[in-house]
Structure formats: structure tokens, C-alpha cells
Amino acid sequence: MENIRLFDKWLTIDPQWETRYTDILTTFCNYGSGENSLRESKGKIFGAGYELFIVAFFIGLYYNQRKPLTSDAAKRKSFGHRVEYWGNIETRLGRQAYPKIRDYMFAALIARTDIDFIALEKDELPLKDAVSALKCTMEEYANYGFSFIQDKVDEDSGFFYKDPGFLEVFLEIGQQKHVSNPPINEPESLD
């Protein structure tokens, strides 16, 4: 059997999300309608639904918060679009492809998922189990992110339509990390 790399196998997944966030997806994305020229006139911030999934993933990742998906399979859904195709829309409707985002997501998942890579290399850990662990981590970070977005919308329905909207969330995360992690080489106060 051909040795399939972990990254290549991970690219074939189609992660799930909880259906209770469908309203969030339809509010901010052209979810279910594909990319079209009406996106901006309808006030949509994102094109495909997976774009908001990516943002939700990074919110969960940067806050280092995971939230397991519901165990009820009827309340979970996928986009029907494997990760390998995320960000491949090339200059359609003025957009640029962004395939490197997959590399960054994978690197983050490798760093934050407990996988015994030695066992994987020795074929003592099945590749499908390692991919399943990466998928679970990805879904749980995104699930926290969706919950975070939902809470912000519940507090202020126009929050993400204000300038800078989603950027403000990431700026807040950066500020919190800066405050909680002062520089290591900072000289001790003489006072």
C-alpha cells in the first residue's frame, strides 16, 4: 500500500459544524448559493460557508478554546466541500486564491493535537486515527468560534458589520495575549 502523508489525507476531510449556527452562516456568507455578484449587494462579508468556518477555527485557536460538537448526528452538518478545495477560487469576482491558509491550519492542528507521531511513523497508529484526531480538534476550535460569533451577534446584531468588525475580534485577542504575557527580557523594576 502506498504511504499516504498525513497532510494529504487531512486535505480530504469535510469537517462538520452544528446546524444551530446556520443562521450565522446565512447572515455572513453566501452559504448554499455559491459565490456570485450579489454577495456585496446582499451585505455578505464572506463567500462560501467554509470561509466563516476558517474564521471560527482561528477564533477558537487563538483563544485556545475548544467546544465539542453535539453527539446528535442530526444536528451536525458539513459543507460538502473537502479542505483541499478551500480557498481555490482564483480571481473570480475580484477575489484571489488563498490556498496557504490550509497550510497554516494544518500546522496549528499538528501543534495542538495529541498525536503520537512515532507510533504513526511505525504504523502502530493508523493514519485514519491521526486524521480523525486532527478533524476533531479542527471542529472543536471552530465550534467554539461559532459560539463566540453567535454570542457577539446576540449582544449586538450589527457588531460584525461595523468597521473593523471581524478584525476587531482578532485585535482584542492580540491585546489580551500581550497583556497576559509581558516580554521575558523586561528589566526588573527598581521601585
Residue 1 domain flag? no
Q: What is the pLDDT of residue 114?
A: 96
Residue 109 domain flag? yes
Q: How far apart are CA 125 and CA 68, in angstroms?
A: 23
Share of the chain above pLDDT 70, in %: 79
Q: What is the pLDDT of residue 142?
A: 97
Tens of pLDDT, residues 106-159: 999 999 999 999 999 999 999 999 999 999 999 999 999 999 999 999 998 888
What backbone torsions phi and psi does residue 30 show, to the nearest 5 degrees?
-85, 50
Share of the chain above pLDDT 90, in %: 54
Residue 102 domain flag? yes
Q: Identify which has the larger pLDDT, 159 or 184.
A: 159
pTM as predicted: 0.82
- CA dihedral for 155, 158, 163, 168, sign (positive or negative): positive
Residue 191 domain flag? no
Residue 186 domain flag? no
Tens of pLDDT, residues 4-42: 699 999 999 999 999 999 999 988 887 765 544 444 434
Rg (CA), the chain: 19
Residue 190 domain flag? no
Grid cell, residue 178, equals 500581550
Provide the domain count of the chain. 1
pLDDT, averaged across the chain: 84
Distances (CA, A) of 1 to 63, 116, 117, 123: 40, 21, 19, 12
Which band of pLDDT confidence, cut at 50, 70 and 90, is reported for residue 95? low
CA 95 to chain centre: 20
Residue 32 domain flag? yes
Residue 67 domain flag? yes
Q: Which domain holds residue 108?
A: 6-180
Mean pLDDT of 84-92: 74
Residue 184 has pLDDT above 90, yes or no: no
